[in-house]
Structure 1
Amino acid sequence: MAIQYRDTLQAFQVGRRVNMEEWNTITRTKEGSGQLGFGVPAIAGTGAHSCAALTAAAQNVLGITEASLCLPRPGDNYEQYDNVGICEVGVIGVLLGANVTKGAQARFDVINKVWTGANASSTVLTIPGAQFEESGSAGEVGAVRYRRPIPSLSAGA
């Protein structure tokens, strides 16, 4: 029997590395209640080796969460005490909330939990070291190139 391949597969998904160029992933433990999605900025938590969701400007961004294929429950979110893979260097798939331009500064909308190229505001935060790898449209899976700078504090308007 001949092997059949689907011709409709996307090149990458939210929270997955886009290619195999240089990358680095660290692991932290999700702290606190609430969920932390895939392909979103994670900040340093208050406990040792912990992380949480980005919620405001001037928070220490560790990187972008990677998707996990082995969570003990269905869904695309980390919950309290989960081990969270965080991309601190690499190109990773993210959900776009607006049309974006290749090479533009990447920002994250903390209300809608999507990436955008919109102007910074109190809820649309600039993520230092993040830029769009390619142009894309709202609702699509896009790619963000991320290299964590030190310091890596998120910035609003």
Structure 2
Amino acid sequence: MNYRIWSARAAVCFGPLVVAQVVARNWGAWEPWAYWVDDMVAAALLIAGGAFAMAADTTTNSRALTGAWGFTLATLWVSMIRMMETTAIEAPTPIWLITLTLILFLGSIAGGVGSLPSKRVAAISKPAARPKPRSSGGGKSRSRSKAS
């Protein structure tokens, strides 16, 4: 399984969910733009990073995808902490919204790890056998003796 392609597809699906989480969190009483524009940027980066990584599996595209997941993870962390703080101090936040934010946060961790580039062979597979050096001349030694 190619985890990078899985991560790219998940990024394209998570982008709109991040927007939905922001809209649900702010519905009815929008906070100032500085508190939610970073989430919108994270959603745009996820969609763009996922599209780039699905278009071509290059190092640059996978780095863009990993960066998008990292930015999303940071913004969701702040959103999650602010929601929990608001729930504890002011009005309670609906449990479904906290659950959605937590799922997006954990999904961002999985997506970020899946987007990391790796060319290593899986640990459970055997290493490739090294080819034996060929001897030329039907077994005759090519080295000269020092005595001659």
TM-score category, normalised to shorter length: under 0.3
Greater strand content: 1
Q: Provide TM-score, normalisation by structure 2.
A: 0.23
Structure of higher RCO (CA pairs closer than 8 Å, 6+ residues apart) = 2
Larger Rg: 2
